[in-house]
């Protein structure tokens, strides 16, 4: 897979990364065999994936430990991204956001220990902390870069004003936010800003939390631990209304001899050469399907038709509950 470049400092990664969160939380009961998950992560490396995304809050903490163990034998072949920005109580329960300088330093030391590495390749602020000036956040990360604990700085779910202010203090390598045919809001302001500043874009949930794969039905029941059970966009009523997006993608997939998920990922790859989506999976067969998107060529006309058709579809339901939406920087 031909490498893509993120940010003004030239971080090179494969065109499709790996979102590791689902191996520890969010999409139903966690897999019982840790070794199976390590096997999937190492299979991803064998197939050319280089960017692996985790965070201290995934689990919390256990996802970083899993990723660190899995990638230890291939450390020199991969780019490990993790995140700070949440606060936790003594039991490890998430209690809010915090990006105070001392919180960042503590989080980074913990992440380095759990990952078993000396330097974090890409460090994101997970959510913007409105009580701490972003200049202080960027300045602290700058100091961590100078100390050799971090290589590159990223933001997650940040608005354009925050991006600009942070970038003026410490160059931002990548923004991570949701973006897909199921959620195109970043196109209005975020993507033009990233293009202007030379910042890379790492979309999470590029398959719409499974919706764009065509495997989620309007009548499906989400089991314990599956966050989709609490997402407004995934109520049975809204899923029925949102089926039009899946039908659109499936129509293109059938014509191309591909899967809906591959079309959704190929659309993202075709949008900009500095976009690197990070789908997640627990299965090698899904990993291979996702990576197959790099071989699927969508012409400019294909992309334009998907753009136009999806723009005419009104996606029903917010992507997060109200409390989670309140954490998003606008």
DSSP string of 256-302? Answer: HTS-HHHHHHHHHHHH-TTB------S-HHHHHHHHGGGGPPPPHHH
Could you give the residue numbers annotated as active site? 58
Long-range contacts of 289-292 (CB under 8 A, 24+ apart): 289/259, 289/261, 289/262, 290/16, 290/261, 290/262, 290/265, 291/1, 291/16, 291/47, 291/48, 291/49, 292/258, 292/259, 292/262
List of domains in the chain: 4-209+271-296 (3.20.20.100)
pLDDT digit string (tens) for 138-183? Answer: 999 999 999 999 999 999 999 999 999 999 999 999 999 999 999 9
Q: How confident is the model at residue 30 (pLDDT cuts 50, 70, 90)?
A: confident
Which residues are within 8 A (CB) of 2 and not within 5 positions of it... i.e. 6 or more apart? Answer: 15
CA atoms within 13 Å, Cβ hemisphere of 258: 27
Question: What's the burial of 250, exposed, middle or buried (CB within 10 Å: 0-12/13-18/19+)?
Answer: middle
Residue 25 pLDDT = 84
Residue 225 pLDDT = 87
Residue 28 pLDDT = 77
Using a cut of 0.95, tell me whether the model's pTM lies above it.
yes
Asked if 51 contacts 290 with a C-beta cutoff of 8 angstroms, the reply is: no
pLDDT digit string (tens) for 228-266? Answer: 999 999 999 999 999 999 999 999 999 999 999 999 999
Residue 26 pLDDT = 81
How far apart are the C-alpha atoms of 158 and 75, rounded to whole Å? 29
Q: Which helix (H) or strand (E) holds 204?
A: strand 200-204
C-alpha of 164 from chain center: 21
pLDDT digit string (tens) for 299-328? Answer: 999 999 999 999 999 999 999 999 889 889
Residue in the structure block whose two tokens are 């291939």: 74
């Amino acid at each position: 897979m031909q490498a893509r470049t993120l940010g003004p400092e030239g971080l090179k990664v494969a065109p499709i990364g790996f979102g590791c969160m689902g191996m520890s939380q969010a999409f139903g009961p966690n897999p019982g065999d840790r070794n199976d998950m390590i096997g999937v992560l190492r299979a991803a490396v064998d197939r050319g994936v280089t960017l692996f995304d985790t965070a201290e809050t995934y689990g919390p903490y256990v996802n970083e430990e899993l990723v660190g163990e899995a990638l230890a034998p291939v450390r020199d072949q991969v780019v490990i991204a993790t995140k700070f920005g949440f606060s936790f109580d003594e039991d490890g329960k998430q209690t809010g956001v915090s990006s105070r300088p001392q919180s960042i330093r503590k989080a980074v030391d913990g992440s380095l220990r759990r990952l078993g590495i000396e330097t974090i390749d890409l460090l994101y602020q997970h959510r913007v902390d409105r009580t701490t000036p972003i200049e202080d956040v960027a300045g602290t990360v700058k100091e961590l870069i100078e100390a050799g604990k971090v290589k590159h700085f990223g933001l997650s779910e940040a608005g354009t004003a925050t991006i600009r202010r942070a970038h003026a203090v410490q160059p931002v390598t990548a923004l991570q936010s949701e973006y897909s045919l199921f959620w195109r809001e970043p196109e209005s302001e975020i993507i033009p800003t990233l293009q202007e500043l030379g910042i890379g874009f790492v979309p999470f949930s590029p398959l719409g939390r499974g919706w764009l794969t065509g495997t989620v039905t309007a009548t499906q029941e989400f089991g314990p631990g599956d966050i989709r059970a609490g997402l407004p966009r995934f109520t049975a009523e809204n899923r029925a209304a949102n089926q039009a997006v899946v039908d659109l993608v499936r129509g293109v997939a059938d014509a191309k001899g591909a899967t809906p998920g591959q079309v959704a990922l190929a659309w993202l790859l075709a949008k900009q050469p500095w976009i690197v989506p990070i789908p997640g999976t627990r299965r090698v067969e899904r990993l291979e399907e996702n990576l197959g998107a790099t071989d699927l060529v969508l012409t400019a006309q294909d992309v334009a038709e998907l753009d136009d058709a999806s723009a005419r579809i009104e996606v029903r339901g917010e992507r997060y509950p109200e409390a989670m939406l309140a954490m998003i920087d606008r």
